Structure 1
Amino acid sequence: MMSSAFITDSDTSHCSGIANSTTCVPTVSLRSEFKLFGENSSLADWTTSAFMIGNMIGGSALSHMADRSGRRPAVMWSTLGLGFVGCLSALSPNVYVFSVMRCFQGAFFTGSSLIGWVLAYECISKSLRSYTTLIFGAMWVLGYCGLAPLAYLIHDWRWLMMASSAPALVLGILYVCTLPESFHYLVSKGDVQGTAKWMLTVEEYSSAILPFSAEKIIDDLRFAQKKHFSGEPSSGLSMLKELLDSKIFLLYTFVLAYLWSCDTFVYYGLSLFSTRLAGNRYVNYMLSGLVELPAYGIAPVLLDRCGRKPSVSIGHLLTGSAMFAYVFVPADQLALSLTFWMIGKFAISSCFINIFAYGSEVFPTSIRGLCIGICAVVSKIGGNLAPHVRLLEVIFPSFPTIFFAGLAFLAAALTLLLPETLNRPLPASVKDANSSRN
């Protein structure tokens, strides 16, 4: 995803040294190879938008697949597809073919990352849920920052795409051999054999005997849901009807969809344009990634100590405040402006990872994949617009930053409409969730 920060550059040379002033060598970017300048300059930015459009398509189709066929096949095939199409995109003869490849890659990225998060979240106890953010966040930062030395060493965008896509192929192969199905999914589908196998694996690794059987867990769940389900397998229409019949979950879906759109827009806006800040673009890019690590480390502590709602709301408030303060920093105060930029990136990164945990807990299992898929699809509107945010400078130079601040302030207010989910069990159905709330 973040390779767009470098492959769409307009630079035609790469220089070593912090000041970008020594030992320059030729650089082949997507923009320079396909002559995307003047009236064609926007085509380079549209390759990033194509990735986000693919996210929208994948968020809908693959989330439905995950609810019907299981989390494991959706994650496994998406990861393999992500790596394969990414490598294939390096052979694109023109920007239009590359955009199509990026669209497919974006679709697979949703299945690999978003549904992978859902799978992991449904396999751990509620006491450890918030700490999953630290692991996912650390791995994201590792990949994010790892792109900078790759871009520094590889001066041709085609080889850079190859190098950044190949690890997904390796990971996909590992998934085929090691990835389990979601425990919560197996139980909710009444899969006794799969649940028993999952529990046996837990006993083997923990050296402990579980005091209950798979049949007991599933029977208890069926008894609790006997009044709510007809016993027929859920279809896409039935899941949608279940959502539409609940006004409160429609509201939650709207709020979380906005939060995801806001966070996607602000996060990618700050990330993609970090290479345009004053100073060395590789250093600035790495700093914008490294600042996420403490955000992901603090996030689980805040989620457990302060609760989900306050953590997300205050995080957006801090983002808006930092971006608003950035506008008033004098042009010659580069260190101060970079500090406010990094504070904003720190805060929005914390919010971004927190809403994954929050969204997974707000929705019941029966519609969780559908609702998160809807949020993911809508959020890509923000992702589509992020590469083009510089167009707002036509109004006046600081308007993009003010726009970031306004979106974050509104997100802070809307978060207050969501329920607190700290230390509450994941509901299986809408009626279960309503009963717990009442």
Structure 2
Amino acid sequence: MVTSDQYLDTILEKVGHFGKYQRFVVALFSIAIIINSAAFITFVFTTKDLNYRCQVPYCEKTPEYNPSWLQNAILITEDRPAKCERFAHLNTTGCNYSSFNRSIVEICDDYVYETKEITIVQDFNLHCDENVWKLTLIGTLNGIGQFIGLPIAGYVSDRYGRLTMLVCGMVLAGICGIIRSFTTTYVLFGIFEFLDSLFGAGAYTCGYILGVELVGPKKRVLTGILICCSYALGGVLTGAIAWSVQSWRFYLRIVCGSSVAIIFYYWIAPESVRWMLIKKKYEPVKKTLRKVAEVNGKPISERTLEELCSITETIETKYPITDLFKSWILVLRFINCSFCWITCVFVFYGLTVNSVALSDNSYLDFILTSLVEIPGYALTYILVDKVGRRIGISSSLILTSICCVVFVFIPPELYWLKLSTYLLGKFAATGAFSICYIITTEIFPTCLRHSLMASCSMFGRIGSSIAPQMPLLELFWKPLPLILFGVMSAISGVLALHFPETSNIKLPDTIQEAEEIGNPKNKMFNKYDCKCNLML
């Protein structure tokens, strides 16, 4: 029996796999994902810790971060003055060595900054080591907001539509971001950071589905790659805006104001055709497909549209996630998959967040770290079917681990070598994240696939909540975050070898079929011509 999905794909082949209308739609939702990505990571720059030092009374004729007398008044460590301590000034004129009592250290409350950057450090007085946790907590609130927002977004998109979820989510997130730019207290800032990520949590998934599903089957995988790359471009955009503005309030208004502009999509962007078919909204389905055919210059008959809408779907039986426990093979596979998700998300976002501390030019480092994701997605698309999922994800994680550990031992003066090693690690982490997504869609049965994918993704949010806390670990030992990235990647890389190989196999429909994946005695699940869609 032909399903509506299969018949819709047949129609898309006739009206054009990737015609003018599809290109317009893909561009439209790619822009939305770029904006969503840029807004999601704003906490990296709004909470950025700055280089500053104590203001020294009697010596500060003009504010200068590194005057000639500085080493007389403040302890210098690793070419940086202490941020919050200074030597006691004697009752003498001048700022030479003998003007200070170096045996008495004072805590200061006025500061001189190296650059003109403005973050919440100045506006909310979050100086010194005892306030670092307040800066890192904002990123964790962002991750918690996603953790809670994802299931809510899934419910709203299933009930009211993908486009409705995308528009409402991004507009509400944008409003919260704009309000956040006017806050005058740390608590209010944190509350609206949480609400921002809560509302915007499902925007990427909805934008991805809307961008891909009107494209014909032959171009769907490539389209998925392009949309993934647009997420990376969002990181580049937010880094460029932060670099040019260097004021957290104006930075938020620009980025979050763009999110509010997505409200116009409600009138210019199409709703999900597949969702409308499920909800039996047949007239909007016909209107959308007529528009596709008209813009692409391809004919489509009313009879074809009527046949599509007349197909009666067999409602797939839904199984509770507790059915997973009927198979210990799948339980162990789920545990391994969940740990892999936590690791991939933790390392991926950890390397992104940590990039602003690589050198004095944090903006350039962040932009390069975002740009390197693009070849990561592209190479995954090219190689994932050639080398296999299991070897692909394991080797990517091991390479990430090696890069993170090697980075620690490269001396600071070899900046470009350190940066290249770091970027190679982010490149490998991007590949691992992509393949992790593919494996999760292929190793579980149809009856449990959606719920287990959602569960693994939820566990992944644990990684994105922990990643912003890495600057706290640097207070104990500076290389500790990179060492932790390396250790977790290595462990997950070894455990990934226990995944069954899923290249060129039929996707399992039942628990028994899922258990048979990788069994050399079962020919059905070892030789099957199948091309899996990346990130679908």
TM over 0.5: yes
Task: Give the superposition deviation at 1:412.
Answer: 2.2
2:276–2:284 contact (8 Å) kept in structure 1: yes
1:377 to 2:433 alignment: no
1:148–1:286 contact (8 Å) kept in structure 2: yes
Aligned counterparts, 1:125-164, within 5 A: 127-164=218-255
- The alignment partner of 1:26 has SS state of coil
Q: What's the CA shift string for 1:217-264, capped at 9, x where partnerless?
A: 985852xx7xx63xxxx6xxx554565666665555434332222122
Specify the structure having the higher radius of gyration (Cα). 2
1:403 to 2:484 alignment: yes
Name the stretch that deviates more: 53-62 or 169-178.
169-178
Q: What's the CA shift string for 1:339-391, capped at 9, x where partnerless?
A: 21111011112223443454455566765553333223211211121121233
CA distance in 2, matches of 1:195, 1:121: 16
Instruction: Give the aligned length.
Output: 417
Please tell me the residue identity of whatever aligns with 2:186: V
Instruction: Return the match for 1:355 from 436, 460, 478.
Output: 436
The residue that corresponds to 1:55 in the other structure is 146
- The alignment partner of 1:36 has SS state of coil
The residue that corresponds to 2:495 in the other structure is 414
Query: Where in structure 1 are there 5+ consecutive unaligned residues?
Result: 16-22
Please tell me the residue identity of whatever aligns with 1:28: I
The residue that corresponds to 2:370 in the other structure is 289
Task: Give the superposition deviation at 1:331.
Answer: 4.0
Task: Give the superposition deviation at 1:276.
Answer: 1.2
The residue that corresponds to 1:26 in the other structure is 116
CA distance in 2, matches of 1:96, 1:3: 17
Name the stretch that deviates more: 57-66 or 262-271.
57-66
* Alpha carbons of structure 1 residues 294 and 87: separation in structure 2 relative to 1, 3 Å: same
Q: What's the CA shift string for 1:127-173, capped at 9, x where partnerless?
A: 44442443123212322112223222223211111111122222343
1:31–1:41 contact (8 Å) kept in structure 2: no
The residue that corresponds to 1:20 in the other structure is none
Q: What's the CA shift string for 1:262-300, capped at 9, x where partnerless?
A: 122112221112121134222222221222222222222
The residue that corresponds to 1:316 in the other structure is 397
The residue that corresponds to 1:330 in the other structure is 411
CA distance in 2, matches of 1:334, 1:51: 31
1:66–1:369 contact (8 Å) kept in structure 2: no
Task: Indicate the percent of aligned positions where both proteins have the same amino acid.
Answer: 23
- The alignment partner of 2:202 has SS state of helix
Please tell me the residue identity of whatever aligns with 2:258: P
* Alpha carbons of structure 1 residues 330 and 352: separation in structure 2 relative to 1, 3 Å: same
Task: Give the superposition deviation at 1:400.
Answer: 2.0
The residue that corresponds to 1:19 in the other structure is none
The residue that corresponds to 1:3 in the other structure is 42
2:350–2:470 contact (8 Å) kept in structure 1: yes
Query: Where in structure 2 are there 5+ consecutive unaligned residues?
Result: 1-39, 53-63, 65-112, 518-524, 526-536
Task: Give the superposition deviation at 1:40.
Answer: 2.8
Q: What's the CA shift string for 1:155-206, capped at 9, x where partnerless?
A: 32111111111222223432553132152x5566677666656655554455
- The alignment partner of 1:180 has SS state of coil
Aligned counterparts, 1:190-229, within 5 A: 199-206=289-296, 207=298, 209=300, 219=311, 222=314, 229=317
Task: Give the superposition deviation at 1:111.
Answer: 0.7
* Alpha carbons of structure 1 residues 240 and 205: separation in structure 2 relative to 1, 3 Å: farther
CA distance in 1, matches of 2:433, 2:281: 33
2:407–2:421 contact (8 Å) kept in structure 1: yes
CA distance in 1, matches of 2:425, 2:447: 36
1:90–1:162 contact (8 Å) kept in structure 2: yes
Instruction: Return the match for 2:164 from 52, 73, 78.
Output: 73
CA distance in 1, matches of 2:398, 2:46: 33
1:80–1:173 contact (8 Å) kept in structure 2: no
2:373–2:427 contact (8 Å) kept in structure 1: yes
CA distance in 2, matches of 1:187, 1:363: 26
RCO greater where, 1 or 2, for CA within 8 Å and sep 6 or more?
1
The residue that corresponds to 2:5 in the other structure is none
Q: What's the CA shift string for 1:374-413, capped at 9, x where partnerless?
A: 2232112111211212333466443321211121122223
* Alpha carbons of structure 1 residues 434 and 337: separation in structure 2 relative to 1, 3 Å: closer
CA distance in 2, matches of 1:119, 1:364: 25
Name the stretch that deviates more: 57-66 or 202-211.
202-211
Q: What's the CA shift string for 1:35-62, capped at 9, x where partnerless?
A: 1124333111111111111010012222
CA distance in 1, matches of 2:155, 2:235: 28
Please tell me the residue identity of whatever aligns with 2:493: A
1:277 to 2:368 alignment: no
- The alignment partner of 2:205 has SS state of helix
Answer 1 or 2: which has greater helix percent.
1
1:47–1:102 contact (8 Å) kept in structure 2: yes
